């Protein structure tokens, strides 16, 4: 939806995307490195590990 500004969006607007993408651990590390939020990334990694262990 090119050309829309923040003010053009309304509550409840649904935007259907033709593509889907999973967020990988590498994406997470890259984002956290750019945002400099190491504590958040560590917490996310620990939560992910805990969820994987619970599935076993």
**How confident is the model at residue 2, as a pLDDT?**
65
Q: Say if 48 falls within a structural domain.
A: yes
Say what the pTM is: 0.36
36 within some domain:
yes
Counting the structural domains of the chain, the total is 1
CA-derived radius of gyration, the chain: 16
For 8, the enclosing helix (H) or strand (E) is none
Q: What is the pLDDT of residues 1-54, one digit of tens each?
A: 566 788 888 898 887 777 777 777 788 778 877 887 766 677 777 777 787 788
Distance of CA 23 to the CA centre of its chain: 6
In a domain, 38, yes or no: yes
H runs (alpha helix) in the chain: 25-35, 38-55
Task: Supply the range of the domain harboring residue 41.
Answer: 23-56
CB 41 within 8 A of CB 32: yes
């Amino acid at each position: 939806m090119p050309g829309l500004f923040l003010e053009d969006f309304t509550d409840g607007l649904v935007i259907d995307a033709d593509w889907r993408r999973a967020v990988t651990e590498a994406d997470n590390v890259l984002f956290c490195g750019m945002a400099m939020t190491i504590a958040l990334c560590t917490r996310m990694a620990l939560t992910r590990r805990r969820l994987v262990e619970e599935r076993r």
